[in-house]
Amino acid sequence: MSSPIYDFTIADLGERKIVSPINTANFLSTNKRLLYDGHCDNTAESKDSRGVPSLELAGPSRYIYFNPTLTRAAIVTCGGLCPGINDVIRSITMQLFYRYGVKDILGIKYGFRGLIPEYRHKSVQLGPELVKDITSIGGSILSCSRGHQDIDKIIKSLADSRIDILFCIGGDGTMRAVQAITAGIMKQGLKIAVVGIPKTIDNDLGLIQKSFGFDTAIAETVHAIKCAHVEAKGAENGIGLIKIMGRLSGHIAANAALAQNDTNFVLIPEVPFTLSGENGFLVSLEKRIKSRGHAVVLVAEGAGQDLLRKKDDPVETDPSGNLRLYDIGIFLKKEIEHHFRRINQEINLKYIEPSYMIRSVPANASDGLYCGSLGQYAVHAAMAGKTGLLVALMKDEYVYLPLSAAVARRKIDPQGDLWLRVLEATGQPSSIKD
């Protein structure tokens, strides 16, 4: 299998002629870049003088493209909720207002729908007074929405509203839309910068070290694991079953299990398993109950879909284009109860599904710090006239990634170190397949 080919070139709107109002001596140097050595031989562009692929470091430019006193910026939040959205909104607003002197900042309501005139959603004027306390509440003060919108209408709305900079906070679906918006803007020759801030609580965007909200999600999942463990130990043959986020990857489940070593089984989309048979999940669970008297099972929402999906089932998607998942949590609950009835073994099963509670909480300190940095670096990029990019953390450095290089999914390697540590921490069999 060949490695992916990445082009790390960052587009810009033109020559930067305006002296930056940022009071710092730490302006970006065009000669200083972050080496990307994952797939050196296959990377097409953006190489350093030695031919090694490299990425542009994030930070302020000595000269900027937009005149702050004439600039109108807008912020939009798309997709599902995630801890830290308000932190990013606040960071962008405060950075624009105080560091660059941009006073005209719009908050677009209800995602990209807010840029479609037919929905009649009024934007809000953002400023320090409005955003000063929003980090203490969850969700998004701008609200979100899912679903595809007409790209041409969005671009026309941006132009008609005289928006110079659009900050888009969202996941992989949002970033694909941002790609299309950026391409349309450039095709029309408009001077509008579009900058993305990656949001996926599942932590599965390609090339990105960590997405915001992930640390908070792990911390909240740990609380659920603790509760499930107490419930399981509090009854004879107790089983705590928790379903957590993770459509296509099990990063939350795996990391939460490592953070709280009370989990005995972790089921994720990347590692197939079977229910029946001598090496199947149900028999493995039965052995655990007989030997220890209780068990905690943590399952990602995208795990085991092959067990539920029938060959003739229609393929259904949600408004964002994601494959609709079957409910693996309810399915496992029923299968576990049926199995132990069949062998005439009493159990006490408690089913916990905390996903929406986790998505809606405020960011913890770690994510708050991260969100603040993402917002600051996003503003530096936009004011310099850079476009079609997102701010990312790679190898503990903040960099600018072109959108085309960041929409791929990142999954757990079943042969990798992370999954090995999960197996060691839980003690579950390396393969739960007959």
Are 34 and 394 contacting, i.e. CB atoms less than 8 angstroms apart? yes
Q: In the CATH hierarchy, which top-level class contains the domain 11-211+361-405?
A: alpha beta
Amino acid identity of residue 403, one-letter, is L
In this prediction, the residues of the chain whose per-residue pLDDT falls under 50 are 1-3, 38-45, 49
Residue 417 φ then ψ, to 5°: -65, -40
Contact by Cβ (8 Å): 146, 295? no
Query: For the chain, which residues make up each domain, given as ranges?
Result: 11-211+361-405, 216-359+414-426
Give catalytic status of residue 313 as yes or no. Answer: no
Torsions phi, psi of 321, nearest 5? Answer: 90, 5
Backbone CA torsion sign across 11, 17, 20, 24: positive
Radius of gyration of the chain (CA): 24
Q: 11-211+361-405 with 216-359+414-426: one CATH topology?
A: yes
Report the distance separating Cα 170 and Cα 204, nearest Å. 13
Q: What's the sign of the alpha-carbon dihedral 177, 181, 183, 187?
A: positive
Structure tokens at 403: 């959108």
- Under 8 Å between Cβ of 404 and 4: no
Give the pLDDT confidence of 146-185 residue by residue, as tens digits.
878 999 999 999 999 999 999 999 987 888 899 999 999 9
47 in helix, strand or coil? strand
H or E stretch covering 176: helix 172-187
Question: Which positions ≥6 away from 66 have C-beta within 8 Å?
Answer: 18, 164, 165, 193, 382, 383, 385
153, 170, 409 from 321: Cα distances, Å: 20, 14, 15
Per-residue model confidence (pLDDT) at position 115: 96
Contact 213, 84 (CB under 8 A): yes
The secondary structure of 292-349 as a DSSP string is HSEEEEEEETTTTHHHH--TTPPP-B-TTSPBPPP-HHHHHHHHHHHHHHHTT---EE
Q: For residue 11, what are the β-bridge partners?
A: 387
Give the homologous superfamily in CATH for domain 216-359+414-426: Phosphofructokinase domain (3.40.50.460)
pLDDT at residue 46, as a whole number: 53
Task: Give the pLDDT score at 45.
Answer: 47
User: Catalytic residue among 202, 204, 262, 367, which?
Assistant: 202
Per-residue pLDDT tens digits for 378-393: 999 999 999 999 998 9
Per-residue three-class SS string for 155-171 = HHHHHHCCCCEEEEEEC
- Sort 212 into a burial class: Cβ within 10 Å, 0-12 / 13-18 / 19+: buried
